[in-house]
Amino acid sequence: MYRASRPLAPQTGKPKTPLKENVRKLIYSCGNHNLFLELFIQGPRQFGAKDVQLLRPAVEMATSNLSRKTGVIVGDDVLKLFSYAQQKGFAIPAINVTSSSTVVASLEAARDKKAPIILQMSQGGAAYFAGKGVANDKQQASIAGAVAGAHYIRSIASAYDIPVILHTDHCAKKLLPWLDGMMDADEAYFKEHGEPLFSSHMIDLSEEEVDYNIETTARYLKRAAPMKQFLEMEIGITGGEEDGVNNEDVDNNSLYTQPEDIYNIYKTLSAISPYFSIAAGFGNVHGVYKPGNVKLHPELLSKHQAYVKEKTGTKEEKPVFLVFHGGSGSTKAEYKEAISNGVVKVNLDTDLQYAYLTGIRDYVLNKKDYIMSQVGNPDGEDKPNKKFFDPRVWVREGEKTMSARVKEGLVDFNTANQL
């Protein structure tokens, strides 16, 4: 428990010291926001219960300590939001977006649920953003699409009045030219605006030797550090298949990361920058599979935190920002345990792809007789069908069902109502 440098007015029975005076003394006693929150948590021992109930709503907001409350956030704001998520026991869904339509479906859900959100593009998703007709032999479509998507998200995100982390997903060794191109864009944007274009990137060298993984990740973190840009890395392979990366046949033992590897990564990266997170394998698999076929062990994550805490001597119970990959199809209990062990980000993709489809599928099936021709339907052979086949109508149905599934994730991860 933290102890204030000056004693606070004790409260026994009916409060004798006005709330305003206790607030003044509390702020005077605290050197930082975390201590402020800690003293509020300990409040009943130093305040009257009514005082604490009045104070708590004023500070327990995910945006209360952010310099930018809405739109794309970067640097220290991302760090503060992740720290707050660990303190309050929630994780932020990371939604793979491939178009303006999937972007707005995600933003709408987060706005309605009063929650922060992470929007991320994979290498394939970024290429789709550019257009499937653009050559990608040198990652040019993926670079152009990611940059275009980033500018679009930056332009529209603030209209939804929520903080957004702008991220890119798995970048394997063969895709490093994609990451290089995006970081070129980050540095150009930083030179003009004082911040990177993207809040963060992911480098995924989990299929490579551990030493190469850590050394290469460290090299990229050194490049990102001057911009205060986050870098997510992966250790331990995520099984299954996603976006052309197929790990369905890997040895099951490689799906589980060891505490010693987490500490080695933490020690190496923390010497460079505090802006990093680790996707540690605990049996994760991309996609959705028959129940019982995937064995997740989120309890392993607590061992990683405890080992890093012991080796570093830190007082932090959860010194590592952890990431949950392959979130689709997992149980609420698995989410809850992973988040309790320091997970701040959960990837959702497969469930949302299917959710987007269902809205469009059901619309087409229900309106089949109204979309078989431009003119003529059950209401009359001369009746026009434009209002039924207009893409703004049926694409919107996909947005609605995707948005509903994002909202479900925001509730499951305890992200809802954090703003």
Among residues 116, 111, 112, the alpha carbon closest in space to that of 163 is found at: 116
Residue type present at position 364: V
Active site residue 77: no
Among residues 139, 146, 141, 137, the alpha carbon closest in space to that of 119 is found at: 146
Q: Are 321 and 278 in contact (CB under 8 A)?
A: yes
Q: Are 146 and 166 in contact (CB under 8 A)?
A: no
- Rounded distance, CA 187 to CA 147, Å? 12
- Rounded distance, CA 296 to CA 292, Å? 10
Rounded to the nearest 10 degrees, the angle between the axes of helix 19-29 and helix 49-59 is 60
Q: Are 387 and 364 in contact (CB under 8 A)?
A: no
How far is residue 309 CA from its own chain's centroid? 24
Rounded to the nearest 10 degrees, the angle between the axes of helix 391-412 and helix 100-112 is 50
Burial tier of 303 (Cβ tally within 10 Å: 0-12, 13-18, 19+):
middle
Q: Count Cβ atoms below 10 Å from residue 195 Cβ, excluding itself.
A: 19
Q: What angle do CA 117, 241, 356 make, to 5 degrees?
A: 45
- Rounded distance, CA 3 to CA 46, Å? 11
Q: Please pick, among 77, 137, 161, 169, the residue that the annotation labels catalytic.
A: 169
Task: Please state, in angstroms and as integers, the Cα–Cα distance from residue 163 to each residue in 280, 346, 407, following that order.
Answer: 25, 16, 16
- Rounded distance, CA 47 to CA 53, Å? 10
Residues carrying an active site annotation: 169
